[in-house]
Structure 1
Amino acid sequence: MYRVVVADDEMLIKRTLKKLIEYENSPFTVIGEAEDGGEALEWISVHRPELVITDIRMPVLDGLELISEARSRAPETIFVIISGHDDFSYAQQALRFGVADYLLKPIKPDQLREVLDKVEASLDQINRSELERRDRLWFIKSRAEVLAEALWLLNGESLSGLLDDLHREFSSSTPGLEGRAKGFWLDLLSFVNGALEEKSSGTILLFGDKGADLSEDPDALRGEIESLFTRKADEIRQSRNWQSHHNMKRTADFLKENYSNEKLSLQDAADYAGISPSYFSRMFKEEFGISFIHYLTRLRMERACELLRDPLAKTYEIAYAVGYQDYPHFAKVFKKLYGVSPSYYRKAMGLDAPSSD
Structure 2
Amino acid sequence: MHKVFIADDEAWIIVGMKKLIEKSELPFKVVGEACNGVTALEEMEKKKPDVLFSDIRMPGYNGLGLLEEMQKRGILAKVVFISGYAEFEYAQKAVELHAYDYLLKPVKQEKLNQVLSRIHEELGGDIERDEEEEVSLTVMQQIISEIQERYTENITLTELAETYKISTGHLSNLIKRELKLSFSEYIAARRIQRAKELLGDDTLSIEQIAGMVGYKDYFYFTKVFKKVAGVSPSKYRKM
TM value normalised by structure 2: 0.54
The answer as to whether partners of 1:2 and 1:27 remain within 8 angstroms in 2 is yes
- Superposition deviation, residue 86 in structure 1: 4.1
The answer as to whether partners of 2:9 and 2:58 remain within 8 angstroms in 1 is yes
**Whole-Å separation in 2 of the counterparts to 1:97 and 1:135:** 36
Aligned to 2:157: none
Aligned to 2:27: 27
- Superposition deviation, residue 179 in structure 1: 8.3
The answer as to whether partners of 1:54 and 1:79 remain within 8 angstroms in 2 is yes
The answer as to whether partners of 1:48 and 1:74 remain within 8 angstroms in 2 is no
* Aligned amino acid, residue 113 of structure 1: N
Aligned to 2:11: 11
The answer as to whether partners of 1:3 and 1:30 remain within 8 angstroms in 2 is yes
**Whole-Å separation in 1 of the counterparts to 2:100 and 2:44:** 17
**Whole-Å separation in 2 of the counterparts to 1:129 and 1:19:** 24
Equivalent runs, 1:292-331 vs 2, <5 Å: none
Aligned to 2:113: 113
Instruction: Report the secondary structure of 1:14's partner residue.
Output: helix
- Superposition deviation, residue 89 in structure 1: 2.0
Aligned to 2:57: 57
**Whole-Å separation in 1 of the counterparts to 2:25 and 2:142:** 40
**Whole-Å separation in 2 of the counterparts to 1:73 and 1:19:** 30
Aligned to 1:219: none
- Superposition deviation, residue 17 in structure 1: 0.2
Q: Larger Rg: 1 or 2?
A: 1
Instruction: Report the secondary structure of 1:121's partner residue.
Output: helix
The answer as to whether partners of 1:4 and 1:30 remain within 8 angstroms in 2 is yes
Identity %, equivalent residues: 36
**Whole-Å separation in 1 of the counterparts to 2:87 and 2:58:** 12
- Superposition deviation, residue 178 in structure 1: 2.2
- Superposition deviation, residue 84 in structure 1: 2.0
* Aligned amino acid, residue 39 of structure 1: T
The answer as to whether partners of 1:8 and 1:35 remain within 8 angstroms in 2 is yes
Aligned to 2:226: none
Instruction: Report the secondary structure of 2:73's partner residue.
Output: coil
2:137 pairs with 129, 139, 152, which one?
139
The answer as to whether partners of 2:5 and 2:30 remain within 8 angstroms in 1 is yes
Instruction: Report the secondary structure of 2:57's partner residue.
Output: coil
* Aligned amino acid, residue 32 of structure 2: G
Higher helix share: 1
Aligned to 1:176: 147
**In the TM superposition, what whole-angstrom CA distance separates every residue of 1:215-246 from its partner, at most 9, and x where no partner exists?**
xxxxxxxxxxxxxxxxxxxxxxxxxxxxxxxx
Q: 1:179 to 1:20 in 2, by over 3 A?
A: closer
In the alignment of these two chains, the number of paired residues is 150
- Superposition deviation, residue 75 in structure 1: 3.7
Task: Identify unmatched segments of 5+ residues in structure 2.
Answer: 152-177, 179-239
Aligned to 1:93: 93
Q: 1:68 to 1:178 in 2, by over 3 A?
A: same
**Whole-Å separation in 1 of the counterparts to 2:128 and 2:146:** 13
**Whole-Å separation in 2 of the counterparts to 1:23 and 1:128:** 20
**In the TM superposition, what whole-angstrom CA distance separates every residue of 1:156-203 from its partner, at most 9, and x where no partner exists?**
xxxxxxxxxx9xx957897414289xxxxxx9xxxxxxxxxxxxxxxx
Higher relative contact order (CA 8 A, sep 6+): 2
* Aligned amino acid, residue 106 of structure 2: P
Q: 1:19 to 1:86 in 2, by over 3 A?
A: same
Aligned to 1:81: 81
**Whole-Å separation in 1 of the counterparts to 2:34 and 2:97:** 21
- Superposition deviation, residue 87 in structure 1: 3.7
The answer as to whether partners of 2:85 and 2:104 remain within 8 angstroms in 1 is yes
TM value normalised by structure 1: 0.37
Aligned to 1:124: 124
- Superposition deviation, residue 68 in structure 1: 0.9
Q: 1:12 to 1:174 in 2, by over 3 A?
A: same
The answer as to whether partners of 2:24 and 2:113 remain within 8 angstroms in 1 is no
**Whole-Å separation in 2 of the counterparts to 1:92 and 1:26:** 29
Instruction: Report the secondary structure of 2:54's partner residue.
Output: strand
**In the TM superposition, what whole-angstrom CA distance separates every residue of 1:304-326 from its partner, at most 9, and x where no partner exists?**
xxxxxxxxxxxxxxxxxxxxxxx
Aligned to 1:296: none
Equivalent runs, 1:244-283 vs 2, <5 Å: none
Moved over 4 A (4+): 127-131, 169-174
Task: Identify unmatched segments of 5+ residues in structure 1.
Answer: 141-165, 181-186, 188-357
**Whole-Å separation in 1 of the counterparts to 2:46 and 2:119:** 21
1:40 lines up with 2:11 in the alignment: no
**Whole-Å separation in 2 of the counterparts to 1:29 and 1:50:** 10
* Aligned amino acid, residue 42 of structure 1: E
Q: 1:93 to 1:24 in 2, by over 3 A?
A: closer
- Superposition deviation, residue 34 in structure 1: 0.6
Instruction: Report the secondary structure of 1:3's partner residue.
Output: strand
